[in-house]
Amino acid sequence: MKSDRRMRAALGFAMLFPFTALATAEDSRQAVFEQYLDFAALVQGGSIEPNWFADGSSFWYAEGGPANRVIWRVDPAADTLEPLFDVQRLRAAIAAAIGHEPPYAGVPFETFRLTPDGATATFSVEGRRFSLDLATYRVEEQPAPAATVAAGVRPGTFPRRGYFGMAMPSPEVLSPDGKWYATLVDDNVALRSAADGSTHALTTDGSFDDAWDVESTRLSLGAGLTIAYVPFTPWSPDSLKLFATLTDRSKLPRKGELHYMETIERTIPRPFAAAGGHLDHVRPYILHILSGERIAIDVDTENRYFSLLGWLPDSSEALFARFSRDFKSVDIMAANALDGSVRTLFTERAATFVKIQHDVISFGNTGFTTLPDGDGFLWESTRDGWNHLYLYRNDGHLERQLTRGRYPVLEVRKIDRENGWVYFTAHGERPRVYDTHLYRVALDGGAVQRLTEGEGQHAVKFSPSLAYFVDTHSSSSRAPRVDLRTADGSLIRTLAEADVSALESLGWTPTVEFSVKAADGETDLWGVMHRPYDFDPGKKYPVLEYLYAGPQIVATDRTFSLGLSKTQNLPRAMAQLGYVVVTLDGRGTPERSKAFQDVIYRSWGKNEIADHAAAIRQLGERHPFMDLDRVGIWGHSWGGYYAFAALAQAPDLYRAAVSSAPGYNPYASLLYEPYLDLPERSKDAYDFATPYRLAPQVKGRLMLVGGLADFATFPEYMRMSRALIDAGIDHDQVVLPEEGHGYTGVAEDYFIRKLAGFFARNVMDAER
């Protein structure tokens, strides 16, 4: 590695010429820091992607890069692991077909297709398609598929705007009978033929301000804040109906998305709902494919959120959830596909909020899971104080509570109807209350069984047969490992373990987990601490904290942190510059008890910084190597809100803060409503949560960072800057043209350089 060689060369040079030691030591730290920004490159292996064969249990996966790639075949029943291809025979056959030796020494392709009988594989090499007879290793070139057919059978994408008005690409979704793709064209629902690609409009009255929508995918938030697409279908099982919505945004205020990279600057108006103002007016419909008839679902739609849950097996009814605007109630409903009449299966209410708003409107995660045979469903509820599973019949009758105890269920992974099991993930272990394991419980009720082993975070992938699962697990200090297990949790074999030798060559210091008390002196908080690669407990290190603190997500990454972006790797990387970096989740955040999260309700801004400051002080008392005279803090979005608040609410501890893409104004966004209640009912809570009043109280150094095209929060950034100017508070500004709420490419690099330099001047080199 180039930067690794640079680091070792710098260290060697410093030993020969001591007068250069300071400069070269800084170079060394910078070199390690840059490598940690691409932390995944320092960890090889430790993950696989199972590709299941037709039997539903055996699978293949690729291991290694182009130089030495092997395709392994795994038979769990026989407990065998063997190469699927004879690499030498394969390479010789391909060489004969293309007229020269393929590069490197491994399998010269990553993906391929097998015929159902497993006798023939098709793949591409150098842009040409080939077939391989696995019995004879005869390779034959195949003609390219006709362009018109390829265009017709492949799903495309279409823009979906959802509740926030930002167009996001979504895949077209195929009907169960394989004949049609549901899509959107110019804000209207259309069908695209899977046979020839022709498009047929189902609606024609859609517009920007009154747009049709169909769901084709949902999002899942994984470890390290990574986002994955989860397939979802609006189609009825008989392929004759679609659940669709028509959304009126005409009354929403427009925010300006600013672009200055043109001769004449351009402003794009973006509809955005403010707290207490007009909401997207969503009306659900059922569209009939053959007749073109649209059936309006007979339900109150004012100030409501809607989410499709699925269809009954006979396609007679569509199931959907209707959330009140304040998220204090949710109705689970069924709409008759012929006349739009509605029956309510049940209603759930809460004194605060029944679900996390982000989960529902951004990710489509309602906590509803249909049983495979369609004769009932599971519902996740915090009604007993913890998120648990409840089994319902389709008439709304509650059969039983399936899980209970002082732990939260996280996600239903699979339901094995034939054998009567529900598989789910949960934080079920104490004292490690954030460890994620796979569990199962019988649909008939009974004891919960834990199926995974080893401290940390477990992510599983089930075989189609549900007889086996692949478990990838790690912790903040333990590199990933992949195990193959039977459905009852019995270990078959370990398939892969990460190689961290490149990381160890840098002098890696493992991340440590810790627990402290919240500001109330009673509640346990958990977090992680990153230390420099050359950590010496006898030295004093300045401290940085990374936080989010918003009520939607747990921000502390307790995996081995193979972040997909430099920003995700920043907490671990900043430690390599000579800091101790701390991240924790205070009261008001999810994945604990309902009471733990409800601390935020109507109290936004009252307890969060107090919890984080109390944690840092306790850690400082516990660890003399932490220099509490030099403490900085940074965060993004609502983390930017709280990083700013730290300088006003705990200026005796925090001396510098970077507030990135900060959302400061609770009146400006509907996102605050479930947690502060509606403004007309809780004006005092909104006023207290509005931090512009704190500007005169800011002490220490503050840097504001924002993207000029971030129409949601950049106005709040500028308003805070003006409040600081009016108060005579000096502060730094970083403005990133053409960037939205997240930073990419060279803008992300620039942000990281500015952040690192800011803390170097104001924390690392600050006088004690």
DSSP characters over 387-426: -EEEEEETTS-EEEE---SSS-EEEEEEEETTTTEEEEEE
Q: Quick check: 383 pLDDT over 70?
A: yes
pLDDT of residue 65: 82
* Size (the chain), residues: 768
List of residues 6+ apart from 26 with CB closer than 8 A: none
Q: How far is CA 487 from CA 31, 79, 370, 438, in A?
A: 45, 14, 20, 10
Q: Of 348, 321, 353, which Cα lies nearest the Cα of 334?
A: 321
Q: How far is CA 48 from CA 363, 436, 457, 460, 481, in A?
A: 25, 19, 16, 11, 10
Plot region of 312 (φ>0 → left; ψ -120 to 50 → alpha; else → beta): beta
Q: Quick check: 21 pLDDT over 70?
A: no
- Residue with the two structure tokens 């989010």: 548
Containing 581, the helix (H) or strand (E) segment is strand 580-585
Q: Quick check: 444 pLDDT over 50?
A: yes
Q: What is the pTM of this model?
A: 0.92
**Residue 521 burial (CB count, 10 A):** 7
| Distance between CA atoms of residues 460 and 498, nearest Å | 17
Q: Quick check: 181 pLDDT over 60?
A: yes
User: 391 or 160, which is more confident?
Assistant: 391
Q: Of 238, 240, 190, which Cα lies nearest the Cα of 213?
A: 190
pLDDT of residue 146: 53
Q: Quick check: 18 pLDDT over 50?
A: no
DSSP β-bridge partners for residue 584:
527
Mean pLDDT confidence for 149-173 = 72
E-only strand ranges, 371-507: 376-381, 388-393, 398-401, 409-416, 421-426, 437-442, 449-450, 457-462, 468-474, 481-486, 491-497
pLDDT of residue 9: 33
* CA 402 and chain centroid, separation: 27
**Domain extent listing, the chain:** 1-31, 51-147, 511-764
pLDDT of residue 215: 83
CATH superfamily placement of domain 511-764: Alpha/Beta hydrolase fold, catalytic domain (3.40.50.1820)
Interior/surface letters 286-320, b for 16+ CB within 10 angstroms, e for the rest: bbbbeeeebbebebebeebbbbbbbbbbebebbbb
| Distance between CA atoms of residues 120 and 116, nearest Å | 9
Q: Quick check: 15 pLDDT over 80?
A: no
Q: Quick check: 325 pLDDT over 90?
A: yes
pLDDT of residue 165: 58
Q: In this prediction, what percent of the chain has a pLDDT beyond 70?
A: 93
List of residues 6+ apart from 291 with CB closer than 8 A: none
List of residues 6+ apart from 267 with CB closer than 8 A: 256, 257, 258, 259
Contact predicate 671/273, CB 8 Å: no
pLDDT of residue 564: 80
Mean pLDDT confidence for 177-184 = 94
| Distance between CA atoms of residues 657 and 759, nearest Å | 8
Plot region of 58 (φ>0 → left; ψ -120 to 50 → alpha; else → beta): beta
Q: Quick check: 148 pLDDT over 60?
A: no
